[in-house]
Structure 1
Amino acid sequence: MSVLQPRDPRCSDATWELDVSEPNEATFDIVILGGGSGGYAAALRAAQLDLSVALIEKGKLGGTCLHNGCIPTKALLHAAEIADQARESEQFGVKAELIGIDMAGVNSYKDGVISRLYKGLQGLLKGNKAITIVEGHGTLVGKNVVEVDGKRYTGRNIVLASGSYAKSLPGLEVDGERIITSDHALTMDRVPSSVIVLGGGVIGVEFASVWKSFGVDVTIVEALPRLVAAEDEESSKALERAFRKRKINFKVGKPFEKVEKTENGVKLTIQGGETVEAELLLVAVGRGPNTANLGYEEQGVKMDRGYVLTDERLRTSVPNVYAVGDIVPGLQLAHRGFQQGIFVAEEIAGQTPAVIDEVGIPRVTYCDPELASVGLTEAKAKEQYGADKVKSINYPLGGNGKSQILKTTGFVKLVRVEDGPVVGVHMVGARVGELIGEAQLIYNWEAYPAEVAQLVHAHPTQNEALGEAHLALAGKPLHSHA
């Protein structure tokens, strides 16, 4: 197989010798450790660029996103939306009755979605002659060698893409029965009567939203001062108001102290001695990098608390070794992994792609109501540019025709620099995640309010709210006051 010459600027004048090949060894242009979002995206793009690839995966191709994350959780959220529509149908003039939640049917629907996508991905990868799929646990045993079940795969370049796992906290023993993670929650065959959700981030509020729609008594416990604390404060407050209206209980600014099993479930003690009891405890405190016992540090890859450190071009401290996805500090999002995988493949092929702007990566939380954002929060913008240089505007969805039809409330918030471009877009409301594409373009193209205001947005759509907000920010509001 062909072997690429080094393209890494740090060693462009150096001679990089491969480890001496052994009989039980195969050589590739790229060896990728992990077949999740970042890994398989890198493999497909590299194959398009005529590079030979070994893609190593110990589980199922598609990784967390396809099997234990994005896809199954969003399938549950859609089932929850259908339940709410049935329950609330009479307000639309449709008489229907919600008899109950058939978890066997819900799981069949969810698993069917996963199965179809998985078969499609398998076909795409296995049908590509430039990609060799290796099943098994891979370990980095040399600076350019990965070993799987005694066989070595040498790569002119190595891409680390080993993904993440559901974290817990000291003193919390996950048993998969009363104390569970999102992995267990996705395969439950029953609807619990009550759940404590420990963690008010994206994972926590999404599961809380699902379970409430399924008729469960839900309480969220969050150590930080507000739910989804990484989002703009106005978005957090709007979600909290919506959750109160939905009777989803939450306690913020309340760190976990201990948990005890009871006769009927669990009892959680939080700061101040307050206790909460429920049938189940969902531990939703985030995801950790899956890098232990993979040989990374032993081969000189610099790490920080389990994360792989890279430069802006995703190069690690070891020449010709790259890292992508959840093991790289930053947003743990599938679409970030996709883009990083594509970037690394093009970088290795010598195309010098543009550096990924982490702030320009769109973020969506798929609870009810949805949250969607891109760019800087108002607080971050003021910190970066100065409070007197930042202006924001909040356009309520109450003035939007399609939002009235959907009976959703929320807003589109724009953050701009004085006499400059829009640097942040934040949205709350039903289905606002579908608007994030235009918002991403607005931020990444450094659009000025007047430039977006002159674009024609179809009526009636929620997308109009983006246009209306820019009209207002440009000083010529149509359906609102400036």
Structure 2
Amino acid sequence: MGVSDEFDVVVLGGGPGGYATALRAAQLDLSVAMVEKDKVGGTCLHRGCIPTKALLHAGEVADATRESSQFGIQAELTGVDMTAVNSYKDGVITKGYRGLQGLLKAAKRVTTVEGAGRLVGPNTVEVAGRRLTGRHVVLATGSYSRTLPGLEPDGERVLTSEHALALDRVPASVIVLGGGIIGCEFASVWRSLGAEVTILEALPRLLPTEDEDSSKQVQRAFRRRGINFKPDRPFEKLEHTDSGVRVTVAGGETLEAELLLVAVGRGPVTDGLGYDEQGITMERGFVRTDERLRTNLPNVYAVGDIVPGPQLAHRGFQQGVFVAEEIAGRNPAVIDEDGIPRITYCEPEVASVGLSEAAAKERHGADQITTYTYNLGGNLKSSILKTQGFVKLVRLADGPVVGLHMVGSRVSELVSEAQLIYNWEAFPQDVAQLVHAHPTQSEALGEAHLALAGKPLHVHD
């Protein structure tokens, strides 16, 4: 017989969704067992958000060095030392990991259990013979890199994003299969570090889940940067060559490169964990929940990438906080999925909150939607940064702003204000009266709302 332990909450998974659940539940005086088979922090900290952004920053430094003469600075890029780049990246991860370990240790009511857990009862998780029983169970087992039939990543010529993060060199050439967030970010960083890059996307445009104007702006920027991309190119076949790989797409077109990155999305980690056996309602491997993140089993919740919807660390984090407060009887407000910020950290960055123009017209009717686009060419901070892009607003007729879309260097830092505007259902005139510091890119948000409120200042007809 294994050891038996009882807790208020048992959390299966220690990524952003899982550890946020655990920390918030502990704050609310609930006893928590959090099970993690690898390292707390999950994919985001160790194999996703954080390492990719560190590489993107290294790429930004490389680009700035190449382009330094534009600013009167004489510098020369003599090479990229990937060993040192990876050391920098790993240092950022280590700092975050130690910080998270410290937070969990300080949360006296959280017991972290190392090992592969499995749901063996409606309120019981088993880890190496130890049975953890919870009045409530929260499933937070995360996601993995998907592939396609005929594609077997080997870590040498055919890579997943996890392999790519550990690469010890800058490849001469790369084919990126998938033009979504992961594909565009890796294409961006590899181009910055000196590789020849081609993106293959099965759908008609890059970043197909973003507003169409955002996609078009990124495509224009990628052309200027020398990043090749081919939309409407579904994958058909992979072959190995003496020097790398050969990829065949629909129509018979072939491309060759040193490496292939498979970036066709992420799947839920749910197989073999006892979910099916316990009768949890599933859909294509995802866990179905209601709006309060409850599964069909009493007192069993799910958060993060295993719940259908955008697979974002901050979404999982917020869901974890929500579930902890729900369990504690705080009756938190339901999370509006449309109000969760979405960011692609390529160069230029893409950031959005709320509905795209197409989605808004479908939901409310085309005659009820007004849009306005403010070009960053009129924003002096953007001129200082030498970035091109825009702020686009989608407004319900004579009503609030229901979508905000931004493209440009560093626009991710504007997304918090954009989130407030959307979530507070602000009218253009509400934002127009706010004071935006000068010179900042946030002025572009202010100018766009001034224009929609009928009083544009720095806008040319």
TM value normalised by structure 2: 0.99
Question: How far apart, in 2, do the equivalents of 1:173 and 1:347 lie?
Answer: 42
- How many angstroms does 1:23 deviate by? 6.8
Q: Which one of the candidate residues 355, 359, 364 is aligned to 1:385?
A: 364
Q: Which one of the candidate residues 47, 54, 74 is aligned to 2:53?
A: 74
Q: What residue number does 2:288 align with?
A: 309
Q: What residue number does 2:142 align with?
A: 163
Q: What residue number does 2:330 align with?
A: 351
Question: How far apart, in 2, do the equivalents of 1:24 and 1:72 lie?
Answer: 37
Q: Deviations over 1:353-406 (max 9, x none)?
A: 000000000001000000000000000000111111100000000000100000
Question: How far apart, in 1, do the equivalents of 2:385 and 2:228 lie?
Answer: 25
Q: What residue number does 1:131 align with?
A: 110
Q: Which one of the candidate residues 203, 206, 217 is aligned to 1:224?
A: 203
What amino acid sits opposite 1:198 in the alignment?
A: L
What amino acid sits opposite 1:136 in the alignment?
A: G
Q: Deviations over 1:321-364 (max 9, x none)?
A: 00000000000000000000000000000000000000000001
Q: What residue number does 1:449 align with?
A: 428
- How many angstroms does 1:219 deviate by? 0.2
- How many angstroms does 1:83 deviate by? 0.2
What amino acid sits opposite 2:398 in the alignment?
A: D
Q: Which one of the candidate residues 293, 315, 326 is aligned to 1:336?
A: 315
What amino acid sits opposite 1:234 in the alignment?
A: D
Q: What residue number does 1:264 align with?
A: 243
Q: Secondary structure at the match of 2:154?
A: coil
CA RMSD of aligned residues (A): 0.7
Question: How far apart, in 2, do the equivalents of 1:109 and 1:445 lie?
Answer: 39
Q: What residue number does 1:464 align with?
A: 443
1:13-162 → structure 2 map (5 Å cutoff): 24-162=3-141
User: Residue 298 in 1 paired to residue 277 in 2?
Assistant: yes
Q: What residue number does 1:174 align with?
A: 153
What amino acid sits opposite 1:148 in the alignment?
A: V
Maintained 8 Å contact 1:472/1:481: no
1:185-334 → structure 2 map (5 Å cutoff): 185-334=164-313
Q: Percent identity?
A: 72
- How many angstroms does 1:24 deviate by? 1.8
Q: What residue number does 2:385 align with?
A: 406
- How many angstroms does 1:128 deviate by? 1.8
**Runs of 4 or more consecutive aligned structure 1 residues displaced over 6 Å after TM superposition:** none
Question: How far apart, in 1, do the equivalents of 2:79 and 2:450 lie?
Answer: 45
Q: Secondary structure at the match of 1:297?
A: coil
Q: Secondary structure at the match of 1:147?
A: strand
What amino acid sits opposite 1:253 in the alignment?
A: D
Maintained 8 Å contact 2:36/2:115: yes
Q: Secondary structure at the match of 1:298?
A: coil
Q: What residue number does 1:13 align with?
A: none
- How many angstroms does 1:481 deviate by? 3.8
Aligned length, in residue pairs: 461
Q: Which one of the candidate residues 410, 414, 425 is aligned to 1:435?
A: 414
- How many angstroms does 1:462 deviate by? 0.2
- How many angstroms does 1:129 deviate by? 1.4
Q: Secondary structure at the match of 2:144?
A: strand
Q: Secondary structure at the match of 1:315?
A: coil
Q: Deviations over 1:232-290 (max 9, x none)?
A: 00000000000000010000011000100000000000010000100000000000000
Question: How far apart, in 2, do the equivalents of 1:163 and 1:126 lie?
Answer: 22
TM value normalised by structure 1: 0.95
